[in-house]
Amino acid sequence: MSRPTLTEHILLSQAAAPHATGELSRILARLSLAGRMISQRILNAGCLGEHGDTGEVNVQGEDVKMLDILSNDIFIRVFDTLSSVAGIASEEMEDIHLYDDWEMGKYFVLFDPLDGSGNIDIDGSLGSIFAVHARPEGDGPITQEDFLQSGKNQVAAGYILYGPATVFVYTAGQGAVSGFTLDRSVGEFFLTHPNMTIPDGGGHYSVNESNQTKWESDVVDLVESYRLGKTGLGKRGARYTGAFVADFHRTLLKGGVFMYPGLKDRPRGKLRYLYEASPLSMIAVRAGGKATDGVRDILDLKPEALHERCPLYVGSKSDVDYVMSRLKG
């Protein structure tokens, strides 16, 4: 028997939700379209001369790659004709973007169009991350403030991994986490990872250890306990790709913990709350794991700015509990 496609899975989930209108299903279908388009673009980018920088710097002060812009444009375009989406926010855009028929839209989509773009030129793994939020009630014009929502409000969240295979992972409503692998020959995602759960025990610790001189002493001690196998949790090997989606996907499948701690000169660390930490923390929590900024549950935080960052420790529940027991807060 063949596996269910992503489209079938979305429609079955919709049928099981008593008040579903089909709008969220269409958004998820468009996200899968964006994933397929970006995946194809990445495959051909080297041959088409689309590797490398644009020469511009984004709102975060980071070099913008050609594929960052191409991927961002794909996300903008797939929602252009979908009236359910009032507006979008992207890691690559300074401000929110509202569509012409924004008054009809019930949802916002927030995304990091191409995460880990430092891996583009080396043909390493990349990803896209997305979150869907409901537009707050009210007739007034939409403002940036309306996008500054807590992670627990996410209506759907997920990511697309562009590795040797392209994998789409999402959760919607109160649903489980499901993963789908793209069959390029027919352009369809098929269910390969039903009801994903993070193993509690085993796996890896994943952190950029070259930041050690910028960490506070409790973080240095924490990471050292992982390196020396002194956590009491058992051995954890080290893995780090520089692309959060790839490191997170491994953590989801194998267990352990991904960390991007705050730095002395940047106490909130590097990862963006709305486009990175919040959506993948929802996936982790729905899969039985845990996510914290060191003290608080990531999904309880509420950002005050569109591009706000936060420290992040996410993964297996026992590992994240251990992390919290070692940090001073």
Positions that interact with ligand AFP (CB under 6 A): 62, 115-118, 208, 242-244, 270-271
The DSSP bridge partners found for residue 57 are: 63
For ligand AFP, the closer CB: 27 or 126: 126
For ligand AFP, the closer CB: 197 or 208: 208
Q: How far is residue 286 from each of residues 220, 281, 283, 290, measured CA to CA in Å?
A: 29, 8, 5, 9
Q: Least distance from C-beta 59 to ligand AFP, angstroms?
A: 12
Q: Least distance from C-beta 215 to ligand AFP, angstroms?
A: 12
Q: Least distance from C-beta 260 to ligand AFP, angstroms?
A: 6
For ligand AFP, the closer CB: 146 or 247: 247
Sheet hosting strand 97-98, strand order edge to edge:
97-98, 85-90, 107-115, 126-134, 156-162, 166-172, 178-183, 188-193
For ligand AFP, the closer CB: 36 or 65: 65
For ligand AFP, the closer CB: 118 or 288: 118
What sign for the dihedral angle of Cα 62, 250, 191, 184? positive
For ligand AFP, the closer CB: 25 or 119: 119
The DSSP bridge partners found for residue 170 are: 158, 178
Helices (H) and strands (E) counted in the chain, each on its own, are 7, 15
Q: Least distance from C-beta 317 to ligand AFP, angstroms?
A: 21
**How many angstroms separate the CA atoms of 124 and 147, rounded?**
32
Q: Least distance from C-beta 5 to ligand AFP, angstroms?
A: 28
- Token output for 328: 């001073």
- Token output for 87: 């507006």
For ligand AFP, the closer CB: 61 or 164: 61
- Token output for 287: 């899969």
Q: Least distance from C-beta 166 to ligand AFP, angstroms?
A: 17
Q: At a CB cut-off of 8 Å and minimum separation 6, what does 284 contact?
A: 198, 248, 251, 252, 290, 291, 314, 315
Q: Least distance from C-beta 269 to ligand AFP, angstroms?
A: 9
For ligand AFP, the closer CB: 116 or 151: 116
CB atoms within 10 A of CB 158: 26
In degrees, rounded to 5, the angle at the alpha carbon of residue 88 between the alpha carbons of residues 82 and 89 is: 165
Q: Least distance from C-beta 221 to ligand AFP, angstroms?
A: 20
**How many angstroms separate the CA atoms of 194 and 130, rounded?**
19
Q: Least distance from C-beta 242 to ligand AFP, angstroms?
A: 5
Cβ–Cβ < 8 Å for 192, 180: yes
Looking up tokens 């409901």 gives 134
For ligand AFP, the closer CB: 26 or 250: 250
Among 98, 193, 107, CA closest to 153: 107
- What are the φ and ψ backbone dihedral angles of 199, each rounded to 5 degrees? -60, 140
Q: Tell me if residue 220 falls in helix, strand or coil.
A: helix
